[in-house]
Structure formats: structure tokens, C-alpha cells
A and B are shown apart, each in its own frame.
Chain A
Amino acid sequence: MKRAAFDNRWLPILLLLPQLSIICLFFYWPAWQALRSSFFLQDPFGFGETFVGWANYTRLWTSSEYLKNAGFTAIFSLSVTGLSLAIALLLAVKADTVLRGAKTYRTLLMWVYAVAPPMAGFIALILFNQRWGPMTDFFAMFGWDLQVRLDYFDTGFVMVVASVWKQIPVNFIFFLSGLQSIPRAVREAALIDNASGFSRFWTVTFPLLAPTGFFLLIINITYSLFDTFGLIDTILRNNPGDNPVTLVYQVYLDGFRGQDIGGSSAQSVVLMVLVLALTIMQFRLVERRIHYT
């Protein structure tokens, strides 16, 4: 709050009213609903509900399908996060180094930020087309006969590739911005103190980028958990079959298509707890970040 804040009594309430009413209606109410429904079993014909305690949750731990998808989600998220961060960091460091054409490279490397995840899925479908996809041809040269939506592993692989492609630009923008905010005096001091460019990167640049990296780590995990829904749905052509899906996709499948509100709500709550933990971690990291800059 500002030192010389206005004293008006009703105006601030009026100003906050739209925001508060929207979040109460479309945030707190649904969140509460999810929490509540997770302890109830809904009648499939809509004739009421029965309190079942933790049954919806225990059902999850015993469902082999849920555990399988949880396992896939973990591997998927880690691969997407790791790969997109590594590639973006490499590109950002190079874009920060070159003198000529730096601006053009930046533009060419960042525009994919604006591509919708389902569109990335669509592009992946073309690249990995069974009959003539350029990427399918490429992997065929190594004797790998890629079969999207027929082979569990191949489908997961294509999902990772498309998700990484879509996520590189965001990481690139943040890394580059982080690199450029390293004071010139620090770089020049490092130049004098350390002759090896490689060692200079790992001992000076990388530690200074670490806060940005931590922040991006959380952003990327959240992205791969939630924002990839459209990408996965497009690759699966709306028909998962035996293919890998992420946990968010399963919430949608069970709750919206399968009408298993209780089970889907329990899954939502599990995800909420997961995101909550991640976000709290992020806030603590961001807080610590302030000391670096």
C-alpha cells in the first residue's frame, strides 16, 4: 500500500468487486466442489450422491491404469523439462555470444511461444505421419519404425518431442534475459580472472543464471503437467485407446466423458496438492531470487 493512500471507503470495494466476484464464482466454488465431490459417489443417473469417505482416493492407489498414467506423467514431465531447458540454455548462451545477427536469431527462436499447444500437436502429426512424415523417414534410417498411436513408447516419444519444441522459446527468452542482466563489470572481471571460456561459463555465468533456472524448472513442470493437454489430445485424435495419457487428461476423461465425478474430483485434488507444493516452492525460490539480483 502507498504511504499517501486515498481514504475513500466505498470506492476500493467497488474496484475489487469484479475481481472478487469472478474468483469466488469460478475459482473458490469449483475448487470447493472438487474437494467435496472427492468424498462422494455420484449416482450415474443424477439421483443424488452417497458419502464414501476416502474410497475415491483409495480407488486411485489401487487402479493400475492410474498408476501407469502417473508413471508416464512423471517421466513425460521430467523429459520435457530437462530437454527444453537444456536446449534453450544452449541457444541462449550462443545468442548472447554472437555479435552479428543476434537480433534475427532472437526473433527466429522466440516466435513459437505464440503457437497453441494443440497446433504443436498438429504439426507433430504431420512430421510423424506414418506414410511420409519427414521425421518418420529420418528415424527409419536408423531402423526405428515409428508408429504414432499404435505403439505406446513411440506415441509418448512424439508427445515429448512436440512439447519440447513448443517450450524451448519461453525458456530461451528467460535465459537470454537472465544472461543479459548479468552486469557487464562482472563479465569483464571474469574475463580477467579466468582464461577458459568453458570454465568461465560454469563458474560465473551458470551460478548467476541458477535463480532463473530454478524459476523455469517450476514453470516447465507446470507446463508439462497442464498446458500440454491440447497437444496430447490432438496427437491422440481425441481417442486415447491404449496410448499414454497424462494425469490431467485422465481427469478430463473420467470426469467429463466417463461421468465418474467422484473419482475425477479425487484426481483433481491430488493434482491440486501437487501444484500447491510446486507453487509454494516457486514462491520461496523467487523470494530468494531477489538476493541475487
Chain B
Amino acid sequence: MANVTLNQIRKVYGNGFEAVKPCSFRIEDGEFLVLVGPSGCGKSTLLRMIAGLEDITEGELSIGDRLVNTVDPANRDIAMVFQNYALYPHMTVRKNIGYGLKNRKTPPAEIARKVDEAAAMLNLGAYLDRKPSQLSGGQRQRVAMGRAIVRDPALFLFDEPLSNLDAKLRNQMRIEIKALQRRLGVTSIYVTHDQVEAMTMADRIVVLNGGVIEQIGTPSEIYHSPNSTFVASFMGAPPMNLVKAQLDEGTVRLDCGTAVMAAPAGRSGPVTLGIRPEDVRIGSGAARFDIALIEELGAHRLLHGQVAGQPFTVHVAKETQVSHGPQPIELPPAAMALFDTATGARL
């Protein structure tokens, strides 16, 4: 019912700062879309424009078939979950959840029914008469969720809703939110700077940097075939290894001279070579990896060191025996990506 279309949406602030450069994409009905990027990349501005809390400088925004550029936030049929929950501190949980309905002149009996329904769904039944200050962080987060779902909106907006929770609770809430969205089937836009949240929750990810969309794609596409060095280094922990290399006569060579892969002819000069730490094979091969530090993570190990004088990380299974010092490694050509060193774009 509700797909969202952004057509050349742009935001310029009064001081001339262009927070969002013209961007277009479409969110399908029922899709869970994550906007991810470092702080200041324009992802929150974009979300706030969709919510109607920020004016749209240029472009067209439609929710469903309706152009909503000038529609008041209350009339866009949306619900939003804020970073600091934004619960009304003087109202009980019940009133917090029901406040939006009350303003829509919903009959009290129906408000009560819907609030109870939402509370049951979120396991908040026992807390309905408490004030937000008497709740834990996770419970407050659920109340904020309740306030959103009780309205039965066409679109959910999430503005970094988990960033105030501790790591353990964050993992748990991540799963709960995703499950809830699946169940309700409501189109959702979720803003975060945490690439793990983006990868685990999204149907599709939009990676933003400096007000520009770097890449749109499924988590798997974004992870395995990044469009730029920015996406490559932003997504994934540890990030993709990026090593300077030379493209010469159809061969890519590291700075130490080792040839690592064949490349289409007709191009030469410096390139950046990217490979995920888990795609590197250790123990044999032409390249040398100088291991300086071994990070023991239980289920696996991370080896930090240098390849051709540049920082490099390799992910190995816990069974693999390694020691400090130089080791031969193999870089499978199929797992490698080549980027233009100057622009960062994928070749």
C-alpha cells in the first residue's frame, strides 16, 4: 500500500550548507530500508525530510500515490521512533502510547483497546501505569515502539533508535524490531551509523557519504561488491583490506612487485586493490604477509600486519596455527575488487 518515492530530493540549509545532494530512490511496500553512513552524512536530514520535520528544499516526495512535500507531519500517516525515545516524561506509558490517537479524536474505548493490543505485543502490559522514568532503557525503547505501532501507520521511521542502549540489549532489540516489522509488514526506513545493524536488519541498504548516495543494494551486494572504497571500508568489521597496487600490461602488481591477478588490458597506472580479510588464504602463495599482532576472538582469530608495507588484516578460523613474522598468503582473484585510486570508484 505504501511505497515511498524520492525524486531528486535536496536539502540546503539557510547558511548555504548542502546537507543532502539531489537523490532519488524508491522504497517498495513492506520493505525494510536502512540508511547508513558516518555522522554528518545527511542520513538523519533525509529521514527528517521524509517525516516532515525538515523542509524539502527541492525535489518531490511521495508516500503511496500522494505527494507530501507540504503535508504536516501529523498527516503523513507515519510514525517515528527517536534516538532518545522522546517519551513524554509526565505521562504514563498508557498515555504516551495513546497520545497520538487521542489527538486524532479516536474514541476512548478504541484507544484503550489499541493500547492494550500494542502493549501485549511488546510485553509492556505490566508497565502501562508507570512513568517513563520508572522504566529501563529497553522498556522505554519498547514504549517508543508502541507509540509507533498503535497508530497503524503506512510508514515507520527509525532515527538511530538503539544507540542509547548497551551492546547486549542492542542485539536483542535489533532482533525484536526486525521480527515486529516482519509481522506487521509495514514499510520502514531505519537510520543508523552502525554497519552491523544495517547488515542484519535491512532488506536493502542505502550507504550515504557527504550528502551523496554511494550505493544502494541488498546487504549481500553491499558487502561483497562495494561500489567504492568508501563503501568497502565502511561496511564490515574488520573492513575490507585496501592495498595500493600498480596495473601494468594486464597484470596487477603489489608495490613489492608480486603479481596478484590478471586484469583487463587497456589500462595502466595506480589502482587500489580490495579484499575481505576472510577471503585471504594463509600458508601458501606468492605474497608475503608480515604478522605483527594476533587478536584471539575465540571463534576465530584476526591477524594484523603488513603486506607490501601497507596495513593488512586476515581473518582465520580458530583451528589455523599461526605465529608472528612473515607468512606466505594467497589472494584469490575472484574475491578481489579493483578501485580507481583517485576517485575511489570501482573499476
Query: Closest 3 interchain pairs by CB?
Result: A4-B53, A4-B54, A3-B53
B73 nearest in chain A by CB position: A4
A-B CB contact pairs (8 Å), 3 listed? A3-B53, A4-B53, A4-B54
Which residues of A line the B interface, CB within 8 A?
3-4
Could you mark each residue 46-59 of chain B with 1 if its beta carbon is under 8 Å from any beta carbon of chain A, else 0? 00000001100000
A3-B51 Cα distance, complex, nearest whole Å: 14
A222-B197 Cα distance, complex, nearest whole Å: 58
Residues of B within 8 A of A3 (CB): 53
Which residues of B line the A interface, CB within 8 A?
53-54
Residues of A within 8 A of B53 (CB): 3-4
Residues of B within 8 A of A4 (CB): 53-54
A81-B44 Cα distance, complex, nearest whole Å: 52
A4-B51 Cα distance, complex, nearest whole Å: 11
A4-B72 Cα distance, complex, nearest whole Å: 12
A3-B13 Cα distance, complex, nearest whole Å: 11
Q: Which secondary structure dominates where chain B touches chain A?
A: loop
Q: Which secondary structure dominates where chain A touches chain B?
A: loop
Cβ of A8 to closest chain B Cβ, rounded Å: 11
A4 nearest in chain B by CB position: B53
- Total CB contacts across the A-B interface at under 8 A: 3
Cβ of B71 to closest chain A Cβ, rounded Å: 13
Cβ of A38 to closest chain B Cβ, rounded Å: 43
A139-B289 Cα distance, complex, nearest whole Å: 93
Cβ of B51 to closest chain A Cβ, rounded Å: 9
A3-B54 Cα distance, complex, nearest whole Å: 8
A3-B53 Cα distance, complex, nearest whole Å: 9
B72 nearest in chain A by CB position: A7
Residues of A within 8 A of B54 (CB): 4
Cβ of A142 to closest chain B Cβ, rounded Å: 59
B51 nearest in chain A by CB position: A4
Cβ of B220 to closest chain A Cβ, rounded Å: 37
Cβ of A3 to closest chain B Cβ, rounded Å: 8
A4-B54 Cα distance, complex, nearest whole Å: 7
Cβ of B338 to closest chain A Cβ, rounded Å: 43
Cβ of A7 to closest chain B Cβ, rounded Å: 9
A290-B60 Cα distance, complex, nearest whole Å: 44
B48 nearest in chain A by CB position: A4
Cβ of B159 to closest chain A Cβ, rounded Å: 13
A120-B54 Cα distance, complex, nearest whole Å: 56
A3-B14 Cα distance, complex, nearest whole Å: 12
A3-B55 Cα distance, complex, nearest whole Å: 11
Cβ of B13 to closest chain A Cβ, rounded Å: 11
A4-B53 Cα distance, complex, nearest whole Å: 6
Cβ of B85 to closest chain A Cβ, rounded Å: 16
Cβ of A257 to closest chain B Cβ, rounded Å: 52
A184-B54 Cα distance, complex, nearest whole Å: 42
Cβ of B6 to closest chain A Cβ, rounded Å: 20
Cβ of A122 to closest chain B Cβ, rounded Å: 43
B55 nearest in chain A by CB position: A7
A74-B299 Cα distance, complex, nearest whole Å: 79
Cβ of A287 to closest chain B Cβ, rounded Å: 23
Cβ of A6 to closest chain B Cβ, rounded Å: 10
B53 nearest in chain A by CB position: A4
A7-B53 Cα distance, complex, nearest whole Å: 11
A10-B261 Cα distance, complex, nearest whole Å: 70
A3-B82 Cα distance, complex, nearest whole Å: 15
